[in-house]
Amino acid sequence: MPAAREVVIKKRRAEARLPDWAREGVVVVTYLSENGFLQRVMERFRIERSGGYVGIDAVLLLLFYFSSGIKDGLRKFDGRNAGFREQLAALGGRDSLPTQSSMSRVLGDATPEAVRKVGRWILREGAEVVSVLRHPSMLTVDALMRCWHVFDYDPTKKPLRQRALPEGDDLPPARRRAEGFAAPGHSGRKRGEVQISRSVLQHAGSSIWLDSRLAPGNGEQRAQLGSALEAVVDVCNELDHPLNRALVRLDGEFGNVPSLTALREAGVSGITRFNRLGLLNQPEILQSMATHAWHVVPDSRSGPRRSAMDLGVVTMRPSHKTVDDDGEPYETIDVRVVVSRYARKDKAEHGRVIDGWQYELFAALDLDAEGWPAPDVVASYFGRGGQENRFAQEDRELGLDHIFSYTLAGQELACIIGLLVWNIRVVQGFLLNPLPDKRSPTSTRVAKVDPRPVPERFVEALEKDDDHEPSADPVPEDPHVALVDLLSDLDWSHLLRRHPDWQFEQDHGALRCPNGQPAILSSANKNAGPKSHRLHFRAPAGACRVCPLRASCLASARADAVKQVGLAVPKAAADLIVDKLVEVQLARRVERSVELHAKPLSSGRPRHPRVGEPLVVRPPQRDERPGDWQISDGQFLPAVARGAFRSACGDIVVQVTVVKSRKEAPHPYLVTTPARRQHRRLTWTERNARYALPNDATVSLIVEGGKRLAALLHHGETPARTAA
């Protein structure tokens, strides 16, 4: 062993060759840099910070992260890219990528306004999705050979578990990171104390993501849907596609008046569940379901065999509590309704089970029966299941279920950049192997009638109506008179033995106090014993306020308190009285509702029909003949295109060399400009320039095996030099 040894520690040099996980990120970032998108992001996306990295730096790191296929979170990714930050950043025109801690601060400083200002623009412009959306293979063709752009909209929930936090005098105050980020809500089958809601809009034919928005708890249904509809309108305008040929498919939670009104005001059509199941109780609906033909719903033959029929146009009424953002009540809305059925003996998952058949209702907003027959409306609604598969693909490819920031704006930005990577994969995979200019022809429509019988209940009801002879309607019993008769049969001399000077008035079925005020029967309970119930008689509001006998009769000091008398009554008699009391109270509520409904609103607007009344239905024209063509969905396979792009990126080897000139930093005791002396706020240009790549830096990118990606890396231009 030598007597002495020398240990030399040198600074680690960055390797020119980048690791395999960086290959796709290099292609994506180079493409976005070549087409000027990163420069536009730097100009448009502004995060107000006093120092440090800016918005473009966060976007650049997220692009490399989501392109890498590493789904272990930003912290572990930080360890992998530690030796390559300068090389990767140089491809995007920056000096260095932020570390994980710096990235956390950047995302924490982002604001919802700044993110949402550029969110939809990033998803569309970053990937240049218009080239894909214009292709006819992305469209849906209806039975009249009209072309539609179909969109799927669905909010998903991300639950968070909250562990118990110990408390004590020797511990600092407990603070949860999810406070202000998530909130309690209905998470369905998922488990968690709090959650966030992420709503996304996806083009069904191409799988292109067009909008993404986050909110705590159950979300902001109207605001999130409004954002998605704005994206639909923007895309259709950019494509010069008529809005009345845009169809949005939504989950059943949007089958309400505000959501359907938002669709109509945006000028687009919609398919969702119809949430007024009382329609299935109306006689004219039951008659229609029993006498008209059911047609088989096209399906994959892997689930229940459904059939469907049109019920007509239904006038949908809002609840009396449903108002818009300005506090104004909603108007009624006319919606075409389709019913489907399939055999089921268990409890209904959706809709209602009647005699072994599950019936489900669907709203087809502004879709005519000629172009969209009833079976195809149902098939299109369940076609939304394809988006569920894409959610699973998104989790596998991007891992967007991770929490990247405990601020909504930072998390929303991360999700948008992840979806941008998805869009780039779709578009560039599409361009690697362009499709024919024309789509494959559609087939002739063949309508199949479902021969299975309707429930016997419907048939028996129709036969009974046909055989019924008109007769005088029986006079219904007055529940109040019946209640008075039951009360009159009681032994009041015994019941009022402890209440001298109180009397029972047989004409009105009420007690009369010594001061002459009435007390009517208000409720009953079982606390008087196993063989009796206690009936409670209560004076009207305000009756005891100025009573001269109040001091000797009522112990309460509250001015609005009224006298209440409880009497124990035998159980057999009390049961009959309680049942009749329920009928009387219901009749009183109906009477008050009728009186209130007859009065005009303070705004002078006419009132809508009372809740509980049958819905107004305009039957369909049964002689209308659907179009001659089978409805054809988009024929593009986006997963294959994404796989082709990722495969092309996986075949390359990338080397990046960055050469920077040394610049001496100014002496800390000296100021060179009046702005530094006055500590002025930096301009947006100065903030972006803080971590910008020096103008005299040289970046060398060598891609081995990238012949298929040459046009992409040079943004459609001929490469300046191709190595042999």
3-state secondary structure of 250: strand
Comparing 566 with 459, the larger pLDDT belongs to 566
Confidence of residue 621 (pLDDT cuts 50, 70, 90): confident
Please give the average per-residue pLDDT across 301-319, as a whole number. Answer: 89
Task: Please indicate, yes or no, whether residues 674 and 589 belong to a single structural domain of this protein.
Answer: no
The rounded distance, in Å, linking the Cα atoms of 638 and 140 is 15
Question: E strands, 496-580, where?
Answer: 503-505, 510-512, 518-525, 532-538, 564-570
**Could you tell me if 670 and 553 lie in one domain?**
no
Q: 430 or 480: which carries more pLDDT confidence?
A: 430
Could you tell me if 577 and 569 are in contact, meaning their C-beta atoms sit under 8 angstroms apart? yes
Q: How many domains does the chain have?
A: 3
What's the CA gap between 533 and 567, in Å, rounded?
8
The pLDDT score that the predictor gives to residue 466 is 56
90-130 pLDDT, tens digit per residue, is 999 999 999 999 999 999 999 999 999 999 999 999 999 99
Tokens representing residue 300 in the block: 């994959």
* Domain that includes residue 555, residue range: 479-598
367 & 488 share domain: no
Range among 197-201, 690-694, 702-706 with highest mean pLDDT value: 197-201
For 541-557, what is the mean pLDDT?
86
| pLDDT exceeds cutoff 70 at 470 | no
Determine the Cα–Cα distance for residues 463 and 269; give it in Å rounded to an integer. Answer: 39
Whether residues 350 and 446 share a domain: the answer is yes
Residue 324, domain member (yes or no): yes
Q: Tell me which amino acid residue 498 is.
A: R
Residue 526 has pLDDT above 70, yes or no: no
3 state SS of 365: strand
Residues 127, 131, 136: CA angle, nearest 5 degrees: 135
Query: Would you say residue 419 lies in a domain?
Result: no
193: pLDDT strictly greater than 90: no
Q: Encoding tokens for residue 303?
A: 């689930």
pLDDT tens digits, 64-96: 999 998 888 899 999 888 889 999 999 999 999
The whole-angstrom separation of Cα 535 and Cα 147 is 69
Task: Assess if residue 157 is contained within a domain.
Answer: no
**Helix (H) / strand (E) containing 270:** strand 269-273
- Sign of the CA dihedral with 204 first, then 210, 215, and 219 last: negative
Identify whether 470 is part of a domain: no
Same domain, 369 and 517: no
Task: For residue 676, name the pLDDT band (cuts at 50, 70, 90).
Answer: confident
The residues pairing with 699 across neighbouring beta strands, listed in sequence order, are 658
Under the banding of pLDDT at 50, 70 and 90, the label for residue 5 is low
The DSSP H or E segment spanning 314 is: strand 307-316
Q: What is the DSSP string of 396-432?
A: HHT-TTS---SSHHHHHHHHHHHHHHHHHHHHHHHHH
Q: Please name the residue ranges forming H helices in 35-173.
A: 37-44, 55-68, 74-80, 85-91, 100-109, 112-125, 130-133
Least confident of 291-300, 581-590, 604-613: 604-613
What are the angstrom distances between the C-alpha of 455 and each of 38, 286, 452, 459, 467?
Answer: 63, 10, 10, 7, 19
- Given this model, what pLDDT does residue 722 score? 43
Residue with tokens 């938002």: 262
Burial letters for 601-613: b for 16+ Cβ neighbours within 10 Å, e otherwise?
eeeeeeebeeeee
Residue 448 shares a structural domain with residue 484: no
Whole-angstrom Cα distance, residue 62 to residue 80? Answer: 14
How far apart are the two ends of the chain, measured CA to CA in Å?
51
What pLDDT, on a 0 to 100 scale, did the predictor assign at position 222? 92
> Is residue 340, in this structure, part of any structural domain at all?
yes
Compute the distance between CA of residue 109 and CA of residue 411 in angstroms, rounded to an integer.
Answer: 11
* Per-residue pLDDT band at 721 (split at 50, 70, 90): very low
Angstrom distance (rounded) from CA 432 to CA 425:
10
* Residue 257, pLDDT above cutoff 90: yes
Residues 578 and 655 in one domain: no
pLDDT digits (tens, 9 = 90+) for 332-361: 899 999 999 999 888 877 888 888 889 999
- Residue 209's pLDDT is what? 96
Task: Return contacts of 43-51, CB within 8 angstroms, 24+ apart.
Answer: 44/117, 44/118, 44/121, 45/114, 45/117, 45/118, 46/114, 46/684, 47/106, 47/109, 47/110, 47/111, 47/114, 48/109, 48/111, 48/114, 49/106, 49/109, 49/687, 51/690
Angle at 379 between CA 374 and CA 380, to 5 degrees: 95
Q: Is 456 inside any structural domain?
A: yes
d(CA 183, CA 194): 5
> Which range, 457-461, 517-521, 586-590, is most confident?
517-521
**How many other C-beta atoms lie within 10 A of the C-beta of residue 279?**
20
Tell me how far apart the alpha carbons of residues 708 and 722 are, in angstroms, rounded to a whole number.
12
Task: Based on the fold, state whether residues 28 and 101 are members of the same structural domain.
Answer: yes
19-42 pLDDT tens trace: 999 999 999 999 999 999 999 999
What is the average per-residue pLDDT within 699-715?
Answer: 84
What is the average pLDDT value for the chain, to the nearest integer? 86
The percent of residues above 90 in pLDDT, for the chain, comes to 43
Q: In this structure, are 343 and 287 located in the same domain?
A: yes
Neighbour-count burial for 453-469, b at 16+ CB within 10 Å, e otherwise: ebbeebeeebeeeeeee
Query: Residue 607: its pLDDT value, please?
Result: 59
> Does residue 194 form part of some domain?
no
Tell me the residue ranges of DSSP E strands in 83-241. 140-141, 147-160, 194-203, 209-216
Amino acid 33: pLDDT: 92
Please give the full DSSP string across 602-624, using - where no structure is assigned: TT-PPPPPPTTSPPEEE---TT-
Give the pLDDT score at 294.
93
> Which spans in 292-407 are helix H?
374-382, 385-397
pLDDT at 718: 45
Averaged pLDDT, 187-198: 84
Mean pLDDT within 373-392: 89
Task: Check residue 190 and give its pLDDT.
Answer: 76
Q: Quick one: 312 and 376 in the same domain?
A: yes
Q: What whole-number distance in Å separates Cα of residue 597 and Cα of residue 284? A: 26
592 domain residue, yes or no: yes
d(C-alpha 221, C-alpha 569), whole Å: 52
Q: Which of 170, 260, 316, 266 is CA-nearest to residue 613?
A: 316
pLDDT above 80: residue 320 = no
Q: Is the domain of 561 the same as that of 700?
A: no
Distance CA 86, CA 75 (A): 18
> Could you say which DSSP state residue 301 is in?
S
- What separation in angstroms does the CA of 704 have from each of 34, 313, 654, 697, 710? 19, 63, 6, 23, 11
Residue 263: pLDDT band by 50, 70, 90 thresholds? Answer: very high
Angle at 399 between CA 393 and CA 400, to 5 degrees: 100
Res 720: pLDDT: 46
Whether 724 has a pLDDT exceeding 50, the answer reads no
Three-state SS at 392 = helix
- Express the helix, strand and coil content of the chain in percent, nearest 5 each: 35, 20, 45
Helix (H, G, I), strand (E, B) or coil at 361: strand
* Domain shared by 459 and 489, yes or no: no
